[in-house]
């Protein structure tokens, strides 16, 4: 709606941490008969988005609400995603959960949904400026966490490199910026390269090979997602530098965990897509039930390394995150 | 083989171009019938309008693409052209320039992008595929650099109303594109330029000897394609209320698919406005239907591929050689 | 003994045309059999059926008395049929030898193409007609005439039982025909049956003893040519008597076009001449003497490196054919398929291409007017069949040529440049085109005719320029024009024709 | 106009194909010189090897693409073909199938994908662009469905060693692709099949009349393209240690760009193995140089576009018409 300021999910004041929702708004309310939820995400070709869908489904099953989960045919298919979202509105779903390809491509949905009196929850990644509800993590914080790891564990500083996602995509821009500005603050670290990896393993591999060749004294890579990070790991191994170069990814997909456990990938920033999905659907359904939630519900993330990988995987993750949240208060 | 190559094309001509379009129409009818049978509410007026609206942007681009293809070329740069035009005119609007002026500027950008393509193809003599592959990256980069990668938000309501309104229950975007289609049809069928396009794509050397202005004709085709990309961009940003530098990703493939389903030959010299519009609607109806059936995205992708092939097959069977 | 080749009741239906209707005749081994008929009579269609390119709608073909199924070109070849197509069938980027052996290359060990061996054998086959052709040269670099010779030589490689030749000499000079004639008689001596299609009746009378005459898809008669006059044969072909006309000059003193010192990178060197109103100016010369290039300069298709062209006394520069057309000049090109027609478009569109401005005075084409003009002009050039909306590629060569001439009539062109105007065109249409050219001259047009057929030049021209090595070797006026005179000036001192 | 179209082709024939390759070589030299001047260490042996290694996958695809383009077609489906072949052979390896067998299976998939393309083009007579646009989606969808969208990890070390090893200081992948290039060169220049390709793409009707097996020739070209896509996939998964169903995204554009920069004409009948290899190295050197210069992503995109255009221009200037 027009009187809302354009959303910046990272800085919005009207926010609540996911761990606080139950405390503030009580147990999950009863929903009208026949409530059904529709969700549209970016693509299913990335595990992150499939896990998000699992979260939706898990919560839907728990509370007995059917959820339809659709995705565009490829990342970047902006109009295709809009078509899907329009279809969901036409079909009379009671609430929509959308993870837009870009900040703008699902904008028309906001108006159509409003007209149909259907709440829309923007879940993660790109941010629709007029979104009234957003569930997700602080993208910038991804990069910040990795930078902090370097500052703590490599006190002497050194050269680091960034492999970015698709040029111009919100998450990539924010994550990169968070990392870059945090790590350069103390003056000990130098970002010697920040190049596009286009979310693509092969491109990232080639970029990493070139960077390592030019800067054999590099101490670390930060990649905007895990697929790219796993490509970089191979390049580091091929150069025989696995003991000297730390590699971090983002997302926390299962392959990243496996690689971390195998001692190859140094770490990843897990944003817990399954949990995010559960929280998002819970938020959405609470809106359907008439509750007034803050504009942003922040979901957790954690820097995963070999030391803590077990704590954050499997069914124990939720508990661990609640503990973290409690400790953070 | 022999009959295929040497005899059937003649058959096709005998029956005339409209037979070819009839083939495409049959393809559309089959697809509509299948979805109609499978999806309740597919034939609801509201959904049919949705299909038209969702097809309109692709149809707009595909019309320009058809003209370029007829001239023997191809334009891969339509998406980035649209993006560049969108971000520039949007930032003008946001900066307070009256929106008709900003729209005109957007159109000028589209024309300029087309002009560059056209000059490289017609005067420098480079291959259209490669020229527009190069400008595909170049224009996209310009749009990204211009905006720093950020979307341009806050388009004036007056502007958005122009492209979001309806007339006689039809979305204005659909009406605009229908109008463009009529103009394109007239241009192709009734003007010297249309004849020139067909001649240049059909036999460039003969056209040259007959005094056809080859370079001008080709350049004009690319400029029209650029202009229509800019129009598609305006329609889209009107709908979205924002202009993004990454808008128009992969538009070229849909536009080419629509033109080809509609009977354009990538060898040049052949193509139909009516066919292209039907082709765009086939693709739009398919997306719409698959979504309503809640088909999972991998299977949607599969269906997209198979339906493009099926449309070409149906079409092939109904009229002879592709 | 049964004949080598028998056509029995062959019919061929195309969607709108019955191209052949119950065609039957036979040819014995060692016979050179002429196949005659006007454009569109169905000669090429019949030979395309014989060579497996088309399949007949009805009827059968017998070779040595046995029915054969010629489902495709490979099958026809296997059955012993070699064919020289009317349209050159070539891949310009491949070498002469590669083209000649295309589809059945000689190999080393069945894996690699034996280039040398192919080139050697190609050179052997070419030697009989034109030894100067380099078998290793890319075919696209050769002149049309040389390419046609390659096409002929290719058919000789096969050692076929039947050789079908569809207008093999349409762009050859008389001396090249002489050498070809020897080759053909040699084939016949070896027992090969030869089907020979040509619009040049003197050739047919020269080498064929018998001929079959077709008209509108049916066989009129198979006749013994001995004792028949050309006139009688022509009468059978066209179904009426052709009046032999005498040339009358309509040339005035008014200079329409004058060229001074024209030169080009393409061949033309320092050419100067004048063309008068109402005049038919012939340009003769050997193949490769630069006639086509001169016409292309005049038509604005190539750019001159030196010299001037003046129209009605006004100096002009042409940077494209468009400029030349605006100045009233139009070219009827030598290679119709490549430079003349837009194959997928209708007769009407092809006709209107050069004068769109006239038909669209307000930006939109006035189709009613276009149609009127098309009916008028195509009537005047006597297009057959008179189907104005039919794509031009479905018409025979002669009718395509008529449509191109109609193009310039519709454009109101004042100076027409004809490059080999009757190449591949039958006697009937030829007479019509001659008549047209004279009528154009009488109406005050200026006409330039480049032709390798000397009788044609003599028949048409008021004045003849003879070209040699890119420049004008002689100018012959009406009374001096003769085959001997032209030949004397055309042949370079070195006696080397290419 | 006139000079461009009508005169220069003659000149070009005269000078022969190697002149054309010299043009591409000049383009490469210019690009190398520019980066050499701007980037310290660009000419280090290690970096030059990197460039070759990084170009090898694209070169491999582009060789297949060149053959298809010469035959008058195009293969947009190389990326998804590679992906399908990669995930299937990777999951066989992971399931314990000996890796030579799994590689063979991957090659078989590539051949099968090419066969489908070839059949649709050659027998059904559909336009290559549209056929492979359709199979582009179809094969991708199959790869996604087969894996559920997940990468296949845990490839055996033995397999990875094959594609990651070196010989005489050169990566094996480079040697393999060099070997493929030599074979492709021999096939194109020395075998009947090479002639058939040129003939079919140069003048299909003439080829048909001469008895060239048109359908078989086209089908073989697509199958080779599929096979080389599968080979590229093996090289890549050997290097990355994982096979992803989304692998090979946009590979077709790079491969087409390499072939076109190397002189292949999308009208068919023309193309050069040497040129294509040079084209692939031009693109690889450019990516490498831009990364080493740490050019920001928007400007990398800009440079990519401009360099494709510049390469075509240089090439155009050095040899005549594109
Ligand atoms: N493939 C085709 N489809 C339709 N009509 C055709 C086709 N081929 C030929 N025709 C028509 O069949 C008739 C016979 O044509 P054909 O080419 O056999 O004549 P021709 O005797 O060889 O003439 P020319 O002397 O001009 O070469 C013509 O009316 C022609 O337009
Ligand atoms: N494709 C080509 N490449 C190089 N030279 C060519 C080419 N075509 C023609 N030439 C040369 O140009 C010269 C003149 O040829 P031109 O076509 O003018 O001959 P012409 O007198 O018109 O003969 P024709 O009787 O064939 O019309 C010849 O020496 C020929 O070798
Ligand atoms: Mg004929
Ligand atoms: Mg000539």
Q: By alpha-carbon position, which residue is closest to atom 31 of ligand 2? A: C288
Q: Which of D190, D212, D270 sits opposite C93 (nearest CB)?
A: D270
Boundaries of domain holding B69: 42-319
What's the pLDDT band for B1 if we cut at 50, 70, 90? very low
Within 8 A of C44 by CB-CB distance, chain D residues are: none
Contact residues, chain B, for D141 at CB < 8 Å: 298-299, 301-302, 304-305
CA distance B174 to chain D (A): 26
Q: Using 50, 70 and 90 to split pLDDT, how confident is the model at B11?
A: very low
Using 50, 70 and 90 to split pLDDT, how confident is the model at C287? confident
Q: Is C423 in the pocket of ligand 2 (CB under 6 A)?
A: no
Please indicate if any CB of chain A lies within 8 Å of the CB of D41.
yes
What is the B209 CA–ligand 4 centroid distance (Å)?
15
| pLDDT for the residue numbered D116 | 98
Whole-model pTM: value is 0.86
Phi then psi for A198, rounded to 5 degrees?
A: 50, 30
CA distances (Å), C50 to each of B88, C63, C77, C245, in order? 65, 10, 10, 38
pLDDT higher than threshold 50 for residue D16: no
Mean pLDDT of D19-38: 88
Residue D10 has a pLDDT of 37
Do D134 and B312 count as a contact with CB atoms less than 8 A apart?
A: yes
Retrieve residue C336's tokens: 């119709």
CA–CA dist B152, B162 (Å, integer): 18
pLDDT at C159: 84
Q: Is B59 on the interface with C (CB under 8 A)?
A: no
Give the pLDDT confidence of C400-410 residue by residue, as tens digits. 999 999 999 99
pLDDT number for residue B18: 66
pLDDT (average), residues B205-219:
96
What are the backbone dihedrals phi and psi of residue A222, each rounded to the nearest 5 degrees, phi first? -120, 125
Residue D16, in any domain of the structure: no
Q: Which atom of ligand 1 is nearest to the CA of C167?
A: 27
pLDDT at B294: 85
User: Could you tell me the two tokens for C397?
Assistant: 């060569």
Instruction: Determine, yes or no, domain membership for D78.
Output: yes
pLDDT tier, C498 (very low <50, low <70, confident <90, very high otherwise): very low
pLDDT of D27: 85
Domain assignment of residue B156, yes or no: yes
| Cβ neighbours of A257 (radius 10 Å) | 20
* Cα four-point dihedral sign C44, C47, C51, C56: positive
The residues on C that touch D, with CB distances below 8 Å, are 51, 53, 72-74, 77, 83, 85, 89-94, 98-99, 102-105, 107, 111-113, 138, 140-141, 265-266, 296, 300-303, 319-321
Taking the CA of C496 as reference, the closest ligand is: 2
Dist. CA C164 → ligand 1 center (Å): 17
- Alpha-carbon distance of D204 to C105, in angstroms, equals 17
Residues 286-305 of B with CB under 8 A from A: 287-288, 291-292, 294, 296-298, 300-301, 304
Pick the more confident residue, A137 or B228.
Answer: B228
User: Nearest by CB to B292, which of A73, A82, A87?
Assistant: A87
> Residue D12 pLDDT > 80, yes or no?
no
Beta-carbon separation of D195 and C98 below 8 A: yes
pLDDT at B12 over 60: no
Disruptive mutation site among A71, A214, A225, A249 for chain D (greatest number of D CBs within 10 Å) = A214
Residue D162 lies in a domain: yes
**Mean pLDDT for the stretch of residues A264-288:** 95
CB-based contact B309 D142, cutoff 8 Å: no
B182 vs C contacts (CB less than 8 Å): none
b/e code D86-119 from CB counts within 10 Å (16+ = b): bbbbbbbbeeebebeebbebbbbbbbbbbebbbb
From the CA of C397, how far away is ligand 1's center (Å)? 8
Task: State the pLDDT at residue C496.
Answer: 42
Cβ-Cβ contacts under 8 Å, B124 against chain D: 313, 316, 322
Neighbours of C261 (CB within 10 A): 12
Q: Considering only CA atoms, which of C213, C164, C196, C209 is closest in space to residue C42?
A: C213
| Ion ligand 3 nearby residues (CB, 5 A) | C 44, 86
- With a 6 Å cutoff on the Cβ, whether C452 touches ligand 2 is yes
Q: Output A9 or C189, whichever has higher pLDDT.
A: C189
B138-190 pLDDT, tens digit per residue, is 999 999 999 988 889 889 989 988 888 888 889 999 999 999 999 999 999 99
Q: Please indicate if any CB of chain C lies within 8 Å of the CB of D207.
A: yes
Examine the pLDDT at C48 and tell me if it is beyond 50.
Answer: yes
Domain annotation covers residue D2? no
What pLDDT score was predicted for residue D4? 32
Residues D57-71: what's their mean pLDDT? Answer: 97
Q: Which ligand is nearest to the CA of C265?
A: 2
Give me the sign of the Cα torsion angle C50, C55, C57, C62: positive
Q: What angle do CA B61, B66, B70 make, to 5 degrees?
A: 155
Taking a C-beta distance cutoff of 8 angstroms, is the pair C274, C443 a contact?
no
Neighbours of B279 (CB within 10 A): 33
Closest approach atom of ligand 1 to CA C15: 4
Q: What percentage of chain B has pLDDT greater than the value 90?
A: 65
> Which tens digit of pLDDT belongs to each residue from C440-494?
999 999 999 999 888 888 889 999 999 988 999 999 998 888 888 888 888 765 4
Q: What is the mean pLDDT of residues C190-209?
A: 92
Domains and CATH numbers, chain C: 5-238 (3.40.50.300), 255-490 (3.40.50.300)
| Residue D50, helix vs strand vs coil | helix
Whole-number pLDDT of residue B19: 74
Is B187 in CB contact (< 8 Å) with chain A? no
For residue A244, CA distances in Å to A155, A157, A221, A232 come to 14, 13, 11, 14
| Burial classification of residue D167, based on how many CB atoms lie within 10 Å of its CB (0-12 exposed, 13-18 middle, 19 or more buried) | exposed
Q: Which of D57, D240, D301 sits opposite A201 (nearest CB)?
A: D240
Tell me the average pLDDT of chain C: 90
The ligand whose atoms approach the alpha carbon of C289 most closely is 2
The answer to whether D12 and D321 are in contact (CB under 8 A) is yes
Distance from CA of B259 to the nearest CA of C (A): 18
Q: How far is A45 from chain B (nearest CA, A)?
A: 8
| Closest CB from C320, C356, C391 relative to B195 | C356
For residues A278 and A281, give the distance between their C-alpha atoms in angstroms, rounded to a whole number.
5
Q: What mean pLDDT, rounded, does chain B reach? A: 89
Structure tokens at D280: 């692939």
Mutate to test the interface with B, among C73, C342, C388 (most CBs of B within 10 A): C342
Least confident of A249-263, C12-26, D76-90: C12-26
In a domain, B271, yes or no: yes
At A3 the pLDDT is: 62
Instruction: Compute the nearest-CA separation of B92 from chain C (Å).
Output: 35
Contact partners for chain D, using 3 or more CB pairs closer than 8 A, are A, B, C
* Contact with chain D for residue A217, Cβ under 8 A: no
* Residue-wise burial string across B166-199, b where 16 or more C-beta atoms lie within 10 A, e elsewhere: eeeeebbbbbbbeebbeebbebbbbbbbbbbbbb
pLDDT value at residue B6: 34
Is B210 part of the contact surface with chain C (CB cutoff 8 Å)?
yes
What was the pLDDT predicted at C99? Answer: 93
- Name the more confident of A31 and D221: D221
Q: Kindly identify the ligand whose nearest atom is closest to the C-alpha of C492.
A: 2
What CATH code is carried by the domain that includes residue D225? 1.10.3470
Assess if residue B311 is contained within a domain: yes
Q: Give residue B273's pLDDT.
A: 96
Q: What is the ipTM of this complex?
A: 0.84
Residues with Cβ within 8 Å of residue C270, at least 6 apart in sequence: C261, C262, C263, C306, C307, C471
Does the beta carbon of C291 sit less than 6 angstroms from any atom of ligand 2?
yes
Question: Please, where are the H alpha helices in C54-110?
Answer: 73-78, 96-100
Q: pLDDT confidence of C260, banded at 50, 70, 90? A: very high
Alpha helix segments (H runs only) across D149-296: 157-164, 172-190, 192-202, 204-209, 214-240, 251-261, 273-292
Contact between chains at B304 and A107 (C-beta distance less than 8 A): no
Contact call for B10 and C14, based on CB within 8 A: yes
For ligand 1, the distance from its centroid to the CA atom of residue C216, given in whole angstroms, is 10
CA C336, C337, C339, C341 torsion-angle sign: positive
Write the pLDDT tens digit of every residue in C300-317. Answer: 999 999 999 999 999 999
Q: Residue with the nearest Cα to atom 6 of ligand 1?
A: C394
Is the pLDDT at C242 greater than 90, yes or no? no
Does residue D315 carry a pLDDT above 80? Answer: no
Contacts with B319 from chain D: Cβ below 8 Å: none
* Least Cα separation, residue B103 to chain D (angstroms): 25
Report how many domains make up chain B.
Answer: 1
What are C224's strand-pairing partners? C210
Question: What pLDDT score was predicted for residue D18?
Answer: 65
Nearest CA in chain D to C114: D190
> Best of D10, D14, D320 to mutate for ligand 2, by most ligand atoms within 8 A of CB?
D10
């Amino acid at each position: 709606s027009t009187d809302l300021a354009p959303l910046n999910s990272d800085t919005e004041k009207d926010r609540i941490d996911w761990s606080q929702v139950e405390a503030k708004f009580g147990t999950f309310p009863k929903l009208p008969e026949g409530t059904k939820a529709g969700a549209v995400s970016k693509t299913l070709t990335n595990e992150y988005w499939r896990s998000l869908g699992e979260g939706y489904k898990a919560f839907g099953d728990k509370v007995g609400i059917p959820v339809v989960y659709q995705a565009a045919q490829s990342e970047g298919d902006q109009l295709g995603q809009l078509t899907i979202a329009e279809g969901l509105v036409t079909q009379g779903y009671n609430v929509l959960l959308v993870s837009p390809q870009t900040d703008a491509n699902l904008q028309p949905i906001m108006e159509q949904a409003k007209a149909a009196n259907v709440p829309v929850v923007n879940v993660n990644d790109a941010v629709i400026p007029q979104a009234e509800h957003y569930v997700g993590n602080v993208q910038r914080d991804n990069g910040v966490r990795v930078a902090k790891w370097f500052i703590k564990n490599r006190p002497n500083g050194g050269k680091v490199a960034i492999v970015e996602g698709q040029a111009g995509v919100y998450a990539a821009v924010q994550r990169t910026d968070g990392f870059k500005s945090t790590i350069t603050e103390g003056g000990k670290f130098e970002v010697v390269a920040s190049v596009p990896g286009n979310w693509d393993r092969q491109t990232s591999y080639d970029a990493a090979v070139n960077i390592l060749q030019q800067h054999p004294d590099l101490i670390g890579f930060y990649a905007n997602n895990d697929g790219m990070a796993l490509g970089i790991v191979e390049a580091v191994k091929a150069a025989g530098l696995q003991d000297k170069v730390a590699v971090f990814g983002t997302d926390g997909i299962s392959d990243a965990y496996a690689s971390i456990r195998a001692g190859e990938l140094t770490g990843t920033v897990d944003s817990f897509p399954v949990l995010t999905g559960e929280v998002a659907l819970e938020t959405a359904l609470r809106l359907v039930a008439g509750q007034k939630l803050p504009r942003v519900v922040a979901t957790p993330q954690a820097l995963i390394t070999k030391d803590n990988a077990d704590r954050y995987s499997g069914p124990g993750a939720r508990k661990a995150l609640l503990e973290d949240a409690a400790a953070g208060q | 083989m022999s009959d295929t190559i040497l005899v059937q094309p003649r058959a096709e001509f005998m029956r005339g171009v409209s037979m070819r379009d009839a083939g495409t129409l049959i393809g559309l009818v089959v697809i509509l019938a299948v979805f109609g049978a499978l999806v309740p509410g597919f034939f609801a007026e509201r959904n049919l309008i949705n299909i038209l609206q969702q097809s309109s942007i692709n149809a707009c681009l595909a019309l320009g693409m058809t003209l370029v293809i007829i001239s023997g070329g191809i334009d891969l740069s339509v998406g980035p052209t649209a993006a560049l035009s969108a971000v520039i005119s949007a930032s003008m609007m946001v900066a307070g320039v009256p929106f008709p002026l900003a729209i005109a500027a957007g159109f000028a950008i589209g024309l300029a992008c087309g002009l560059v393509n056209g000059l490289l193809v017609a005067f420098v003599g480079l291959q259209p595929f490669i020229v527009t592959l190069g400008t595909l990256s170049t224009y996209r980069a310009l749009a990204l650099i211009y905006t720093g990668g950020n979307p341009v938000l806050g388009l004036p309501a007056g502007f958005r109303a122009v492209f979001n309104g309806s007339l006689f229950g039809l979305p204005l975007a659909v009406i605009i594109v229908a109008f463009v289609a009529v103009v394109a049809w007239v241009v192709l069928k009734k003007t010297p330029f249309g004849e020139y396009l067909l001649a240049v794509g059909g036999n460039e050397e003969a056209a040259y000897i007959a005094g056809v202005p080859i370079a001008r004709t080709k350049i004009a085709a690319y400029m029209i394609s650029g202009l229509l990309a800019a129009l598609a961009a305006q329609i889209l940003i009107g709908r979205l209320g924002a202009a993004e530098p990454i808008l128009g990703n992969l538009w070229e493939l849909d536009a080419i698919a629509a033109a080809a389903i509609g009977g354009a030959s990538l060898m040049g010299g052949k193509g139909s406005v009516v066919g292209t519009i039907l082709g765009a609607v086939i693709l739009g109806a398919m997306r719409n239907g698959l979504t309503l059936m809640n088909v999972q995205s991998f299977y949607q992708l599969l269906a997209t591929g198979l339906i493009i092939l099926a449309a070409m097959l149906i079409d092939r069977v109904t009229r002879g050689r592709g | 003994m049964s004949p080598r080749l028998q056509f029995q009741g062959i019919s061929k239906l195309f969607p709108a045309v019955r191209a052949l209707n119950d065609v039957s005749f036979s040819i014995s081994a060692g016979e050179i059999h002429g196949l005659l008929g006007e454009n569109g009579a169905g000669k090429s269609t019949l030979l395309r059926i014989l060579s497996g390119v088309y399949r007949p709608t009805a009827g059968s073909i017998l070779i040595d008395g046995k029915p054969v199924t010629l489902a495709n070109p490979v099958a026809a070849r296997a059955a012993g049929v070699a064919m020289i197509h009317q349209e050159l069938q070539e891949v310009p980027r491949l070498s002469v030898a590669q083209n000649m052996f295309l589809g059945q290359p000689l190999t080393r060990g069945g894996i690699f193409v034996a280039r040398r061996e192919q080139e050697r054998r190609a050179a052997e086959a070419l030697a009989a007609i034109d030894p100067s052709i380099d078998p290793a040269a890319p075919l696209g670099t050769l002149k049309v005439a040389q390419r046609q010779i390659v096409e002929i030589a290719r058919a000789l490689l096969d050692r076929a039982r039947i050789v079908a030749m569809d207008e093999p000499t349409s762009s050859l000079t008389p001396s090249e025909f002489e050498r070809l004639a020897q080759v053909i008689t040699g084939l016949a001596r070896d027992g090969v049956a030869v089907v020979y299609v040509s619009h040049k009746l003197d050739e047919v009378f020269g080498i064929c003893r018998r001929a079959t005459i077709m008209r509108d898809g049916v066989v009129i008669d198979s006749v013994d040519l001995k004792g028949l006059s050309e006139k009688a044969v022509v009468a059978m072909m066209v179904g009426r008597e052709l009046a032999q006309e005498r040339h009358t000059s309509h040339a005035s003193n008014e200079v329409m076009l004058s060229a001074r010192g024209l030169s080009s990178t393409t061949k033309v060197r320092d050419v100067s001449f004048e063309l008068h109103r109402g005049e038919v100016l012939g340009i003769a010369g050997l193949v490769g003497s630069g006639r086509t290039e001169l016409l292309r300069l005049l038509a604005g298709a190539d750019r001159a490196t030196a010299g001037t062209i003046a129209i009605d006394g006004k100096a002009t520069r042409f940077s494209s054919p468009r400029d030349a057309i605006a100045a009233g000049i139009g070219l009827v090109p030598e290679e119709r398929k490549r430079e003349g027609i837009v194959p997928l478009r209708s007769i009407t569109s092809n006709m209107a291409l050069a004068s769109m401005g006239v038909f669209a005075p307000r930006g939109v084409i006035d189709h009613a007017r276009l149609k009127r003009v098309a009916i008028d002009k195509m009537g005047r050039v006597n297009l057959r069949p008179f189907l104005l909306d039919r794509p031009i590629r479905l018409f025979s060569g002669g009718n395509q040529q008529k449509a191109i001439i109609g193009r310039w009539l519709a454009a109101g062109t004042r100076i027409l440049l004809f490059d080999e105007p009757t190449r591949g065109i039958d006697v009937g249409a030829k007479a019509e085109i001659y008549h047209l050219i004279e009528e154009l001259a009488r109406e005050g047009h200026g006409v330039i005719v480049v032709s390798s057929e000397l009788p044609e030049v003599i028949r048409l021209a008021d004045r003849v320029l003879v070209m040699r090595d890119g420049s004008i070797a002689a100018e012959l006026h009406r009374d001096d024009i003769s085959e001997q005179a032209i030949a004397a000036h055309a042949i370079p001192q070195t006696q080397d024709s290419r």
